[in-house]
Every structure is written in structure tokens, then in C-alpha cells.
Amino acid sequence: MNGTSVSGRHRIGKSFRFEAAHFLPGLPAGHQCARMHGHSYAVEFVLTADRLVPPGFVTDFGDLAPVKQMIDSTLDHRVLNEVLPVTPTSENLAAWLAGWFAKHVESSLPGRLVSVRVSETQSSWAEFVLEER
């Protein structure tokens, strides 16, 4: 190898933020997450592609605008228990967002979704990693 070329794969990430409340049913009495509470959520979508498209993108970040629109209209300043079809843990939210993205956005992009990471706090996160496709 001459040092000018390496083997690998490009990945990009785009983060979004929103505020929402939730509670987790089925937890023991007194568990803090059983009570209604809120988070400043951070969500990161990671995409990859087999080859870059001109001018050298996995996907143009601007093409991820539908994600922001959905988050703003569906999740921001909502009670997640009322708007999600799953119990609103970070794990379930990450998987739900991945499914939504695959159904509504991915087919219009040159890149493909690798993972979705959801952070409820700066020190904790859950990630849904899609199977290799």
C-alpha cells in the first residue's frame, strides 16, 4: 500500500434534539421512571453507502430534513406514551425511529441507515443497529 488509499467505509451522522415527557408502566412502585417525567432527547441517525455520490456525499445532510419535520410535529413537546405505538424506553424509541426512517425516508436517499442512537441524558444512550443490508 502506498499510503494514499485505504480500505474502509464512509459513515455520516446527523443529530436532532427534542423535548418530551414519558413514563414507563410496569416498573416497581417508587421507581423514578414510573412517574411522568421529561427529557431533553438527542437522537442521532448514522448512514453509510457503498460509494459516494457527487460531489462526495454518503447522503446530503439537507435530504434528512423530513426527519426533523417528523420529530418536530410528532415527538417534540409531547407525552411519548400518547404518540408512540411502543412503550417509550430509549431502546424502543431508537427502534421505532429506525423503522420510521426506513419506511418514509431511506428509499429517497443514496445512503442507507446503519443505526439510531437515542440519549435521554448526556451520560446515557440506547442504540438500535440495523442488520447488515
Q: Quick: pLDDT tens for 35-90.
A: 999 999 999 999 999 999 999 999 999 999 999 999 999 999 999 999 999 999 99
pLDDT at residue 4, as a whole number:
53
Question: Kind and range of the H or E element at 40?
Answer: strand 37-48
Express each pLDDT in 86-113 by its tens digit.
999 999 999 999 999 999 999 999 999 9
Q: Which domains does the chain have, with CATH numbers?
A: 11-129 (3.30.479.10)
DSSP 53: B
Exposed (0-12), middle (13-18) or buried (19+): which is 70, by Cβ within 10 Å?
middle
Nearest CA to 133 out of 117, 109, 104, 111 is that of: 111
Nearest CA to 52 out of 100, 111, 113, 106 is that of: 111
pLDDT at residue 5, as a whole number:
80
